[in-house]
């Protein structure tokens, strides 16, 4: 593991080809293990995270949501059952097919490092256990793409395994593991305002809570104007 980049810093593996190689290897792991992953995670209870995202959105329901790194579609199905318009996105072709079949939702086959998203389109982005796979050198661009895809006032949810700002290979998958202050700096650079964060699973001592969940708003136009009118 090497130290994860602070916002704005550049590391040794920043060459675009190197980053693509990292994501290809990680995705190949999911592709090979798609069926086992589905069986092992279909019953995971992430209702706390889904509830946190939906509660933070201020627009009138139903919402248009992007499930970023949707895997085989467990949460897409929940969003859709709740009456929202949910679109999935994943880099594994196997997961894309499974998520379409399981949820009946539209699912886009895209790599986080080459996102092509419609601007100002989503009330919420749900990134459950997915953004930690982005190497820190690529994170600013990915967060900027998500910011651009959210409607003004829209909300980004992320849940990631936390750490001490290190990144590297964890077996066949690459991961970046941030503490909250560093994660907040990355989100702030991308233009997000913090709403709140919590650690999971619920109700355990902190050392038994490996997951950091956090919610972020893309300021709406009025908020941006109000801020820029304030004297420094
Ligand atoms: C730990 S799984 C989480 C899946 C699902 N969100 C859940 O909570 O069960 C990470 C997901 O991110 C996807 N992923 C990882 N790296 C990616 C990349 N570079 N581009 C697109 N998807 C990626 C994987 O295919 C996988 O579906």
pLDDT in tens, 119-173: 999 999 999 999 999 999 999 999 999 999 999 999 999 999 999 999 999 999 9
Q: Where are the alpha helices (DSSP H) in 64-217?
A: 74-81, 93-103, 139-149, 180-189
Where does residue 205 rank: exposed (0-12), middle (13-18), buried (19+ CB within 10 A)? exposed
For residues 175-204, average pLDDT: 98
Task: Tell which one of 133, 137, 141 to mutate to probe ligand 1, the residue whose CB is within 8 A of the most ligand atoms.
Answer: 133
Task: Please state, in angstroms and rounded to a whole number, the distance separating the CA atoms of residues 185 and 153.
Answer: 19
CA of 71 to the centre of ligand 1 (A): 6
CB of 90 closer than 6 angstroms to any ligand 1 atom = yes
Nearest Cα to Cα of residue 136 among 165, 170, 171, 179: 165
Q: Is the pTM of this model over 0.75?
A: yes
pLDDT value at position 76?
A: 98
Question: Residue 4: which pLDDT band, with cuts at 50, 70 and 90?
Answer: confident
- Split at pLDDT 50, 70, 90, the class of 224 is low
Examine the pLDDT at 193 and tell me if it is beyond 70. yes
Hey, is 4 helix, strand or coil? coil
pLDDT surpassing 90 at residue 227:
no
Segments in 33-179 forming alpha helices (H): 34-41, 47-56, 74-81, 93-103, 139-149
Structural domain count of the chain: 1
Protein residue whose Cα sits closest to atom 13 of ligand 1: 69
pLDDT tens per residue across span 89-127:
999 999 999 999 999 999 999 999 999 999 999 999 999
Query: What is the pLDDT averaged over residues 177-191?
Result: 98
Sheet holding 64-68, edge to edge: 106-109, 85-90, 64-68, 122-128, 150-161, 211-217, 193-200
What CATH number should be reported for the domain holding residue 135? 3.40.50.150
The residue segments making up the domain with residue 178 are 2-229
Backbone angle region of 206, left / alpha / beta, with phi > 0 → left and psi within -120 to 50 → alpha: alpha
CA angle 191, 195, 196 (to 5 degrees): 130
If you average pLDDT over residues 38-67, what whole number do you get?
98
């Amino acid at each position: 593991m090497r130290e994860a980049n602070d916002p704005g810093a550049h590391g040794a593996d920043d060459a675009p080809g190197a980053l693509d190689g990292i994501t290809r290897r990680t995705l190949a792991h999911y592709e090979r293990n798609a069926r086992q992953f589905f069986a092992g995670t279909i019953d995971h209870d992430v209702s706390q995270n889904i509830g946190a995202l939906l509660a933070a959105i201020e627009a009138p329901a139903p919402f248009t949501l992007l499930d970023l790194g949707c895997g085989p579609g467990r949460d897409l199905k929940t969003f859709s059952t709740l009456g929202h318009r949910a679109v999935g996105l994943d880099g594994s072709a196997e997961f894309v097919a499974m998520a379409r079949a399981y949820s009946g939702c539209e699912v886009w086959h895209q790599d986080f490092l080459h996102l092509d998203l419609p601007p100002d389109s989503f009330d919420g982005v749900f990134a459950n256990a997915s953004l930690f796979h982005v190497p820190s050198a690529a994170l600013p661009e990915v967060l900027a793409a998500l910011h651009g895809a959210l409607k003004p006032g829209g909300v980004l949810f992320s849940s990631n395994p936390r750490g001490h700002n290190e990144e590297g290979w964890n077996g066949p998958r690459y991961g970046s593991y941030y503490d909250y202050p560093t994660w907040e700096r990355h989100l702030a650079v991308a233009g997000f305002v913090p709403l709140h964060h919590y650690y999971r699973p619920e109700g355990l001592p902190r050392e038994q809570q490996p997951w950091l969940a956090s919610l972020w708003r893309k300021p709406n136009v009025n908020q941006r104007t109000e801020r820029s009118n304030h004297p420094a």
